[in-house]
Amino acid sequence: MSVETQKETLGFQTEVKQLLHLMIHSLYSNKEIFLRELISNASDAVDKLRFEALAKPELLEGGAELKIRLSFDKDANTVTLEDNGIGMSREDVIAHLGTIAKSGTADFMKNLTGDQKKDSHLIGQFGVGFYSAFIVADKVDVFSRRAGLPAAEGVHWSSKGEGDFEVATIDKAERGTRIVLHLKKGEEEFADGWRLRNIVKKYSDHIALPIELPKQVEAAEGEDKPAEEWETVNRASALWTRPRTEIKDEEYQEFYKHIGHDFENPLAWSHNKVEGKLEYNSLLYVPARAPFDLYQREAPRGLKLYVQRVFIMDQAESFLPLYLRFIKGVVDSNDLSLNVSREILQKDPIIDSMKSALTKRVLDMLEKLAKNEPEQYKGFWKNFGQVMKEGPAEDFANKEKIAGLLRFASTHDESGEQSVALADYLARAKEGQDKIYFLTGESYAQVKNSPHLEVFRKKGIEVLLLTDRIDEWLMSYLSEFDGKSFVDVARGDLDLGKLDSEEDKKAQEEVAKEKEGLVERLKAALGESVSEVRVSHRLTDSPAILAIGEQDLGLQMRQILEASGQKVPDSKPIFEFNPGHPLIEKLDNEQSEDRFADFSHILFDQAALAAGDSLKDPAAYVRRLNKLLVELSA
């Protein structure tokens, strides 16, 4: 063994210690995945070398045959995995094996519960890679040298997976990384050629470079020991280049776990070969669960990009829009140059064509999932619905397609689940209904009980109930679906069109004329608090509501802007009253202007509370209400 110099002991980052402890216990039921994870890392290291060697062929150091080798020693109870990929320098080893550099790590750690079953899902989403070695090993040694560095700058990393690790400088003649797992007592099953071969076939058959194991060879006559021979045990061809008819579902699923660093099977996938003006292969996957950093829009995302089967980059984000950032997969183009960069990708017209086609492919895949597997789609929507709602603003060309994939809660379903598709809503629409009605608010309970729905309940008209923070913003981009325009039932002057009979309209006009005096008194009493006062046609049970001006911001958007520190344009609500309500009749008959003003302000504040707004002057509301209660009890 090489002489070790510059030896030092370093502590793991706190998150690594937590992750190691939880992972070893949570993932123990599926121990063999350690090999899949280590082979995936080795495959990535070889891909990176292949890419860097395009510009610097000297990195291959005369050894262009790239491979992964897997061996074992029954007597020593060890398993060794070796690749001749890019390798690591001393700094790389400390950074990659001692810390977790992912954004959102702290949030991820907060979500861990200590419940092994729940945590195993979270850990799977996070991706554990190298640390999975400690599921079966009580000590791990890593010997590595980065391609291009001299042999004297090899590095040896060693740890028992507890609080710290050792790093030393060694001589290492070959570039790449060798990992030696010292198996725990009871894990001897993995120091076995047949067992390792089966795991490789099961999880890593799709890896597009040879994975070799020692071949059992008889000793030649007169030899003490047979010459060591190796055999390739995986198919070693890029999965996405093979015909779909030859690929089993299990192979697609394992390939997804490899590229997605996920532990669960995907919900759906789409594998296509495009020929003609453009030539490329794509294999796209919809994950079953949201990654922990889904809502960090700046987090790394995108597809694995290959050009003529040569790996170019991870997370090439130019091929799909941001609202589809959860999609995993591979795109392999014959039309791009091998020295393509992120900057070139952003300007290349070929990319625009591919992005457009791949986006449609994903939306078609989701449509198919929604149609054929509604329960599965329900799970998809729960995980990715809020991100899909970013779509209409970002992707004008596919706005109608995206709208068809959206799901909402509605007055049709008392469960409050976001399960109503717009096509289903229109199928149930009343005869003569040419609008899609919706109401936004802070919570399902608040919108479900909103006075704005009273006339719709009376007439049996379904209303979509939108309570996600993004919903009002979404509806500002979604003007219509299937030729029917969207109408916010809390905005402007409600017009039900053909759903109101001529008798209804005539009666409304007569009441408005009759109550002109009360309108003027309320305007004077409420003054600067309102932009307008009018008779309401929306109410059947409540005395009053606040409507939003046609061009004004709704409550959700105001709150989002305020929370982000932006200036909110000044606007005042419209006060609408129910002329048939006993409180309004009492108000109309009130002779004292002071009492009339107090009563009007109480009704205004109650309407604001019912809309989910906070009161501008809660103390004044309490004072007026107490004064009224004292008068009533006198």
83 is known to lie in a ligand binding site:
yes
125 is in an annotated binding site: yes
Is 177 annotated to bind a ligand? Reply is: yes
Any known ligand binding at 129?
yes
Three-state DSSP string of 25-88: HHCHHHCCHHHHHHHHHHHHHHHHHHHHHHHCHHHHCCCCCCCEEEEEECCCCEEEEEECCCCC
Residue 214 burial (C-beta neighbours within 10 Å; 0-12, 13-18, 19+): middle
Q: Is 448 annotated as a binding residue?
A: no
What is the amino acid identity at position 328?
K
What lies within 8 Å, CB to CB, of 274 at 6+ separation is 280, 281, 282, 357
Which tokens hold the place of 552? 């004004």
Joined together, the tokens standing for residue 294 give 């889904």
* Residue-level length of the chain: 634
Q: How large is the C-alpha radius of gyration of the chain?
A: 33
The answer to the question of whether 326 is labelled as a binding residue is: no
Q: Are 312 and 51 in contact (CB under 8 A)?
A: yes
DSSP for residue 626: H
Per the annotation, does 41 bind a ligand?
yes
**Could you tell me the strand order of the sheet in which 137-145 lies?**
5-11, 164-170, 154-159, 137-145, 176-183, 78-83, 68-73, 211-215, 229-232
To the question of whether residue 103 is assigned a binding role by annotation, the answer is yes
Spatial separation of the C-alpha atoms in residues 207 and 620, rounded to whole Å: 71
Separation in Å, CA 200 to CA 177, 232, 278, 349, 588: 19, 10, 35, 40, 83
Is 542 annotated to bind a ligand? Reply is no
The Cα 373–Cα 357 span in angstroms is: 24
| 551 touches 488 (CB < 8 A) | no
The answer to whether 104 is a known ligand-binding residue is yes
**Which of 79, 25, 68 is closest to 195 using CA atoms?**
79
CA angle 86, 52, 90 (to 5 degrees): 35
Number of neighbouring beta carbons within 10 Å of residue 223 = 9
State the binding site.
Answer: 37, 41, 83, 88, 102-104, 125-130, 177, 342
State the binding site for ATP.
Answer: 37, 41, 83, 88, 102-104, 125-130, 177, 342
